[in-house]
Structure 1
């Protein structure tokens, strides 16, 4: 990156958009970096605590609008939150988190102040599937309470964890939500077909969630498992109810993901379903 570039716009005292001859527009973040800066001023990249590039013009406009309509002190605090996430996860974050999480948290704070609460239907699954992200999100919720005096409901912790996972995997929030909706649908089918109410504290339920999560990832990555003919014959004969239900679940996955699924996924699902209940 060029060492010196020119200010295009100071969004507030701590955020500047700049551009160099060889660069796309780059966002510079740092305490006081935008103070008294005017368009055309030369600025050193080394002055910034964090730099990131938004190449999409729509995203640039979204970020500019977001910053302009928020208290600069809040934006500074939320930038610190994003630095904290990057340090805790110890890996680069997708730069879109500067828009997505800042936008989400600013509205979440307003909702909390107005006593408006949103339920999170995937809270348990998020806790189970993304434990590290959830722990970091819990610490962020504590920081928000200490710094701003705002107390979030537990569901909000799950939403923050989802944004963190999105940023470290480069997966969009809407795709993650579709993923969780599919898992929720399959869990509902399991309860209906086996006539059980699943105990979410059961370790076998946690294992089932992990398996469904990995199975969906394998399908999305076109990573098909090899055939297991012997295991297939044993499971089909020994646990026919679980085996048939596993096939039903795989067909649901195929329809939702619109991709072929390895027959071996049926076998591993059968094993997880057998562990889940002693009624069969």
Structure 2
């Protein structure tokens, strides 16, 4: 038996748990007539998850004002699937952020609206495992709701998963994806070419940019390529100068210094693409 701490609605309540402190219990009629301090049988709940922070509890309560119980149940199934695939317990905020996002995404689908995702290829390359799990989740949701959810949503869900896994804000994760897309556009314009998004050299470039951003943010970039830098500057001046242009864009966006050694790696990637 668990002690009721707060009733969120007739079907959802917050209870005190001996192992997890506070948990959210979901079950038909579970919260009906219950008051704080009363006991409730944990096994009566169809679903339960941990929601520790008061701020998160309040946001979840607001969510329940417009999201129906059936969809809440589907979302809890989905979040359990993510935790199983990655063998982790996700940050509790995903219960709010992902539920809210998909609720409105499905509302748009039913209205015949399709929100395009311009960063879909870059998201798949940057976060392949998250993208694979997101694909599985969208297929599951499409099947349960009997409607076709556009593929662009896979990318958005992948970013939500990555945000929850890394405990980085969705805003920051989005900014990095958009930065890579912007760099690719600058490359295409500067080299006057249309890059094949399935070309192996493009895949290598995007993965490289992703790792560079991660390393710079973590302060783990210590390479020194002074000798090779001078050689490449003489051999491939166009690609070398473009690499510096890209580095300046990265520096302005990330608000961090990009090591000069990065000019070497970018020049090599650009030279392969320009061929």
TM exceeding 0.5: yes
Offset of residue 22 of structure 1:
12
1:95-174 maps to which residues of 2 (within 5 A)? 95-174=92-171
**Is 1:34 the equivalent of 2:14?**
no
Residue 49 (structure 2) pairs with residue 51 (structure 1): yes
Judge conservation of contact 2:25–2:48 (CA < 8 Å) in 1. Answer: yes
- Deviation larger for 31-40 or 147-156: 31-40
Cα gap change, 1:266/1:143 in structure 2, threshold over 3 Å: closer, same or farther?
same
Q: Which residue of 2 aligns with 1:245?
A: 242
- For each residue in 1:173-232, what CA deviation from the matched residue of structure 2 results, as whole angstroms up to 9, or x when unmatched? 111111122112211111111111111110110111111111111111122222122211
**Structure 1: runs of 5+ lacking an equivalent:** none
SS at match of 1:119: coil
- Give the drift of 1:30: 4.6
Where structure 2 has 5 or more consecutive residues not aligned to the other structure, the ranges are: none
Q: 1:236–1:267: structure 2 CA closer, same or farther, 3 Å change rule?
A: same
Confirm or deny that 1:78 pairs with 2:75: yes
Q: Is this contact kept in 2: 1:7–1:37, CA < 8 A?
A: no
TM-score calculated relative to the size of structure 1:
0.89
The alignment partner of 1:144 has SS state of helix
In structure 1, the residue matched to 2:227 is 230
Which stretch of structure 1 is more off in the superposition, 221-230 or 264-273? Answer: 221-230
Alignment of 1:204-219 (within 5 A): 204-219=201-216
CA deviation after TM superposition for structure 1 residue 31, in Å: 4.2
Listed one character per residue, the Cα deviations across residues 83-113 of structure 1 (whole Å, up to 9, x for unaligned) are 1111112222111100000101111111111
The answer to whether the 8 Å contact 2:6/2:14 transfers is yes
8 Å CA contact 2:17–2:23 kept in 1: the answer is no
Deviations 1:234-260 (A, max 9, x none): 211221111111111111111111111
TM-score (norm 2): 0.90
Q: For 2:192, which of 175, 178, 195 is the aligned residue?
A: 195
**Alpha-carbon distance in 1 for matches of 2:222, 2:143:** 48
8 A Cα contact 1:27 1:52, kept in partner: yes
Shift of 1:152: 0.7
